[in-house]
Amino acid sequence: GLVGSEMCIRDSLKEHRMEKAARLLRETDASMAEVARRVGYESQSKFTAAFKDQYGCLPTMYRKMS
């Protein structure tokens, strides 16, 4: 497993990717698959799970609320 600083780097990278994804959801009409791809996820389901983990809601709901 990862230790200390490696985990922090990984977590902050994920957080950064999720912030970028949130911005894309708010400011563009890109599909979920496109948003996932733009922030570095090959799998839309992994992206959706990571987004929900960070924001507590699905990306589709986030887009409707913003």
Query: pLDDT per residue over 28-53, tens digit each?
Result: 999 999 999 999 999 999 999 999 99
Quick one: what percent of the chain has pLDDT higher than 70? 97
- pTM value is 0.85
pLDDT given for residue 7 in this prediction: 74
Quick one: what percent of the chain has pLDDT higher than 90? 79
CA contacts within 13 A on the Cβ side of 51 = 27
Contact yes or no for 59/27 (Cβ under 8 A): no
Tell me the pLDDT of the chain averaged across its residues. Answer: 93
